[in-house]
Amino acid sequence: MKITYWLNGKKRENHIAPDTMLLDFLRTCGCYSVKCGCETTNCGLCTVWFDGKPVLSCAVLAARIDGHEITTLEGLQDEAREFAMYMGQEGSDQCGFCNPGFVMAVLAMVRELHNPTEEEMQDYLVGNLCRCTGYMGHLRALRSYMAYKQGVKA
Amino acid sequence: MNIREYIKVQSLAEAYELNQKKSSVVLGGCCWLRLSPNRLIGTAIDLSGLGLDQIEDTDSGIRLGCMTTLRQMETSPALADLTQGALQSALRHIVGVQFRNLATVGGSICGRFGFSDIWTLFLVLDADVELYHAGLMKLREFADLGTTRDILTHVILPKQNRKIGYESLRLSETDFPVISCAAAISANGVDCAIGARPQLAELVPGGQHMLQPGLTEQTIAEYARHVADSLHFGTNLRGSAAYRKDMAAVLCRRVLTKLAKGESR
């Protein structure tokens, strides 16, 4: 079946099988930031944006993106680099495997929540698992990044 | 997983007709679809083109289209108001925002999942469901109906004067619940539902006697024990039947104690 969609701002068309999952499809499109980390639909590593909203691409049928916009980390390089600097400064990442999904969730949160409390940030990001760290570095990076972002907005 | 044909339907009539075949499946948010890799689906029916993702606030209740996502519900001020925050308590532990942006209310109800926080809460909210062919019925009647080839189009939460609370016990923040409890207090008495028993949530209606002599520490404890005693519990990896039964009484007591003190959630 044929789908027409926007990937990182570019209109594209493809023929797909009806049971293709978006995760696998995006990797065939060269978006290697999108990875499968759990097989149980709960690690957050495969997070992409569907019409601007963060979703688990492992649970979306590629057929459903027909007429919609998909954004992956590949389409947000400048913003991702900006946040990655904060993660690097705080030593947040160890193996780094879960970073792409986490960054996609953080950048979605910055757009969706206005001046979130630490509890609200944790609630928003709890669906992104990291098996190396205890999340403390992530939270330090978030605090300084959010303070910087709010300074920019103000 | 193997889907032979994917059809984004143009009408509910088309969806209903396609769904009469045993090999057909109506897609919800598709969150658990990949967990059955050997499942063969003849026709995957997609309702996402029918505008069924709306939350309608009317005088008598809130009507949710079946494709409304859990995240839409969670962020709706009207639903927060109607459930006094209990809906947020029930939804916030379900995997993560990315999951709740996909999972739909229709999929949650039709999946009849034992672990469903939504079933637990919606039973005490006295929810109605609207089916394309069978029409309107109570959610608890829908529970007895068993799996159906009908299409669930809407879920309606009536506006009633009552206090509502929700609690769940989980091994970790975003795991399935070991046990969950929702309760509502109205002029007619106390309703309580226990979910993740681990079977489908069940309602224990009408604790009328609770109102005399009112909600006290003792009457709440007695009622909570009565709720736990009137239900059947089972054992699985997350907990034994005996543990679940004890914890059901604890959660019921906690919810009612908070409601009696006038705290929301």
Task: Enumerate domains of chain B plus CATH numbers.
Answer: 2-46 (no CATH), 55-158 (3.30.465.10), 162-260 (3.30.390.50)
| Least reliable range by pLDDT among A111-115, B34-38, B58-62, B150-154 | B34-38
Q: Which fold has domain A2-72?
A: Ubiquitin-like (UB roll) (3.10.20)
B163-186, pLDDT tens digit by residue?
999 999 999 999 999 999 999 998
- DSSP string spanning A68-120? -EEE-GGG-HHHHHHHHHHHHHTT--SS-TTHHHHHHHHHHHHHH-SS--HHH
- Chain B residues closer than 8 Å to A126 by CB: 96, 173-174
Is B188 exposed, middle or buried (CB count within 10 Å of its CB: 0-12, 13-18, 19+)? middle
Give the residue extent of every domain in chain A: 2-72, 76-153
The architecture of the domain spanning A76-153 is Orthogonal Bundle (1.10)
Beta bridge partners of B202: B194
Q: State both tokens at B162.
A: 């009552």
With a cut of 50, say whether residue B1 has pLDDT above it.
yes
The pLDDT, as a whole number, for residue A85 is 96
What does DSSP assign to residue B211? Answer: G
Dihedral pair phi/psi, residue B181, rounded to 5°: -145, 130
B208-229, pLDDT tens digit by residue?
766 667 888 998 999 999 999 9
B262 pLDDT band, cuts 50/70/90, is confident
The pLDDT, as a whole number, for residue B29 is 93
> Is A40 in CB contact (< 8 Å) with chain B?
yes
- Chain A residues closer than 8 Å to B102 by CB: 55-56, 59-60
- Given an 8 Å threshold on Cβ–Cβ distance, is A40 in contact with B48? no
Chain centroid to CA B133: how far?
Answer: 22
B7-18, pLDDT tens digit by residue?
999 999 999 999
Residues A114, A48: Cα–Cα separation, whole Å: 21
B103-131, pLDDT tens digit by residue?
999 999 999 999 999 999 999 999 999 99
ipTM of this model?
0.96
- Given an 8 Å threshold on Cβ–Cβ distance, is B99 in contact with A50? no
- The answer to whether the CB of B19 falls within 8 A of the CB of A14 is no
> Is B132 in CB contact (< 8 Å) with chain A?
no
Q: What is the mean pLDDT, run by run of 10 residues, along chain A of 154 residues?
A: 98 97 97 94 96 97 97 97 95 92 97 93 96 93 92 73
The pLDDT, as a whole number, for residue B33 is 84
> Is A24 in CB contact (< 8 Å) with chain B?
no
> Is A55 in CB contact (< 8 Å) with chain B?
yes
Beta-carbon neighbour count of residue B50 at 10 Å? 18
Per-chain mean pLDDT for chain B = 94
Which has more pLDDT, B158 or A115? B158
The pLDDT, as a whole number, for residue B211 is 63
With a cut of 90, say whether residue B249 has pLDDT above it.
yes
- Given an 8 Å threshold on Cβ–Cβ distance, is B99 in contact with A53? no
The pLDDT, as a whole number, for residue B210 is 66
> Is B37 in CB contact (< 8 Å) with chain A?
no
- Chain B residues closer than 8 Å to A63 by CB: 6, 8, 44, 46
Provide the 3-class DSSP secondary structure of residue B262. Answer: coil
- Chain A residues closer than 8 Å to B44 by CB: 18-19, 61, 63
What does DSSP assign to residue A9? Answer: T
pTM, two decimals, is: 0.95
What does DSSP assign to residue A2? Answer: E
CA-nearest residue of chain B to A43?
A: B95
Q: Show Cβ contacts of residue B8 under 8 Å, excluding neighbours closer than 6 positions.
A: A63, A66, B46, B48, B49
Q: State both tokens at A10.
A: 């570019």
Would you tell me which residues 83-112 of chain A have a C-beta closer than 8 angstroms to some C-beta of chain B? Answer: 105, 108
Would you tell me which residues 79-118 of chain B have a C-beta closer than 8 angstroms to some C-beta of chain A? Answer: 92, 95-99, 101-102
CA-nearest residue of chain A to B41?
A: A19
- Chain B residues closer than 8 Å to A66 by CB: 8
